[in-house]
Amino acid sequence: MAASNNVKSFFEEIGDIAYFTGRFFREVFKPPFEFQELLRQCYNMGNRSMLLVGVTGFILGLVFTLQSRPTLMQFGAESWMPSMVSISIVREIGPVIIALICAGRIGSGIGAELGSMRVTEQIDAMEVSGTNPFKFLVVTRIVAATLMLPLLILLGDAIALVGSALVENIKGEVSFLLYFNQVFDSLKFSDIIPATIKSFFFGFAIGLVGCYKGYYCSKGTVGVGEASNAAVVYTSMLLFVIDFIAVFVTDIFFGI
């Protein structure tokens, strides 16, 4: 009985999220457009996440290169290090790791903020006053997350390659110029374009789930914590699903 109730609630929530997504697409193209709030959200999500993403990317490049170098040295393939690291980070590791970091930073923040507004009846007050809270609170945050995450991923990838180049410069005495020449020789548009496209979907998923959990928060202040936690957990699972679909589609169209 409990299992059937869990399955039923799962599919009900899937339906609610689908309706929430449909409502977003109906509202996003209808005036008025909240450009000022959109810019504010872009600043909050983008500029305030740059330090976290930069540190994460730098450490990612350092660790990945340090862990891979001994194995390549066993086969005498140290010269392949720039190509291997750059393709791995740009295609897969960078977007996924940075998206997960942003899911914790941005998704939980959205869930907690909207959840606190719901339990303190600020959203209800906006509806009574004639303001469209969905347009002002939800649409702007989802669009901002969709736009900002690809930029954060590009920043994180670039800093990760700098960290990798630093290790190669110290351990292998490879100059930065030679390292990045090999990086740009090995990278192709078929590596960069699919990774960039899927990063937009990562940002959309982070904004959507965070807004959904926060907008429909209940149970008072306890629900705020639950909404914030659920936003991170659900988003992390969804990111892996989107990544699997993206890799599958990329393999069909690009053959990689």
Q: How does pLDDT run across 110-133, given as a tens digit for each residue?
A: 988 988 888 888 888 888 887 788
Helix, strand counts (H, E) of the chain = 12, 0
Q: Model's pTM, two decimal places?
A: 0.90
Cis omega (within 30 of 0) for bond into 32: yes
Give the chain's domain count.
Answer: 1
Please check whether residue 13 lies inside any domain of the structure: no
Per the document, the length of the chain is 256
15 CB-near residues (< 8 Å, 6+ apart):
none
The 10 Å CB-count burial string (b at 16+, else e) for 69-92 is beeeeeeeebeebbebbbbbbbbb
Instruction: Report if residue 6 sits inside a domain.
Output: no
pLDDT at position 33: 82
Task: Show the domain range for 146.
Answer: 29-254
**What amino acid occupies position 12?**
E
Residue 14 lies in a domain: no
List, for the chain, all residue ranges whose pLDDT scores fall below the cut of 50: none
Asked if residue 237 is part of any domain, the answer here is yes
What amino acid occupies position 193? I
147 part of a folded domain: yes
DSSP string, 125-166: HHHHTT--HIIIIIIHHHHHHHHHHHHHHHHHHHHHHHHHHH
CA 64/CA 88 separation, integer angstroms: 10
